[in-house]
């Protein structure tokens, strides 16, 4: 059984990818970065989701000698030219301050009419092998932005993105409903044939 490392300490992400691999009949053992506490976190210096995912995956593969998966994701707003994009987690200037990020984005879009509030969540997932082999896949969840946050599930910008074809925001969906349509779920599922090709 090949051990595969996911470059995260987020237990939810590990559980999600583990389930996707199992559903696909892949026997690989998936562990998180916590299994290798001596490996330092990687600075996300790329200018695209794909570059950041590859940076993290390659660093982990080099440090451990094992195949590694990493992802990077964010919210892309059409009228802002794709911003906040890779800066989603630190849009307000403080990394990971969900409320400040959300408040700033809503203030920036306050005068924007509903017809121009299209946006999508994007996720790039990368697989890197110790020999330098790499693959990147992407997933998207398209929708539009509400004027006020609604719902208590999820995190980040979930309370304002209403997926296409739904009347609820991502923060009003159950975890199961969200995983079925999420950008990360789509990217991780797109990774399955890549894992099968490169790792058997």
Q: Where are the domains of the chain?
A: 3-199
pTM of the predicted model as reported, rounded to 2 decimal places: 0.93
Catalytic residue among 34, 38, 41, 72: 72
Q: Is 103 a catalytic residue?
A: no
Fold of 3-199: Maf protein (3.90.950)
What does each of the 200 residues of the chain score in pLDDT, given as a tens digit? 689 999 998 888 898 899 899 999 998 999 999 999 998 889 899 999 999 999 999 999 999 999 999 999 999 999 999 999 999 999 999 888 999 999 999 999 999 999 999 999 999 999 999 999 999 999 999 999 999 999 999 889 999 999 999 999 999 999 889 989 999 999 999 999 999 999 97
Whole-number Å distance between alpha carbons of 18 and 70: 13
The reported pLDDT for the residue numbered 68 is 96
């Amino acid at each position: 059984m090949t051990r595969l490392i996911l470059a995260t300490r987020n237990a939810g992400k590990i559980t999600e990818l583990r389930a996707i691999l199992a559903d696909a009949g892949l026997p690989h053992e998936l562990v998180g970065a916590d299994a290798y506490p001596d490996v330092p976190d990687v600075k996300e210096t790329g200018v695209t989701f794909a570059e950041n995912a590859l940076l993290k995956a390659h660093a982990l593969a080099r440090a451990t000698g094992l195949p590694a998966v990493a992802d990077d994701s964010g919210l892309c707003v059409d009228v802002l030219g794709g911003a906040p994009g890779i800066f989603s987690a630190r849009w307000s200037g403080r990394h990971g301050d969900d409320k400040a990020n959300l408040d700033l984005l809503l203030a920036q879009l306050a005068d924007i009419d509903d017809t121009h509030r299209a946006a999508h969540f994007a996720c790039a997932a990368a697989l890197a092998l110790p020999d330098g082999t790499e693959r990147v896949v992407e997933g998207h969840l398209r929708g539009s932005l509400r004027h006020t946050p609604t719902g208590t599930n999820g995190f980040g910008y979930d309370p304002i993105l209403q997926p296409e074809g739904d009347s609820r925001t991502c923060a009003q969906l159950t975890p199961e409903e969200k995983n079925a349509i999420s950008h990360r779920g789509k990217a991780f599922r797109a990774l399955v044939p890549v894992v099968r090709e490169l790792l058997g």
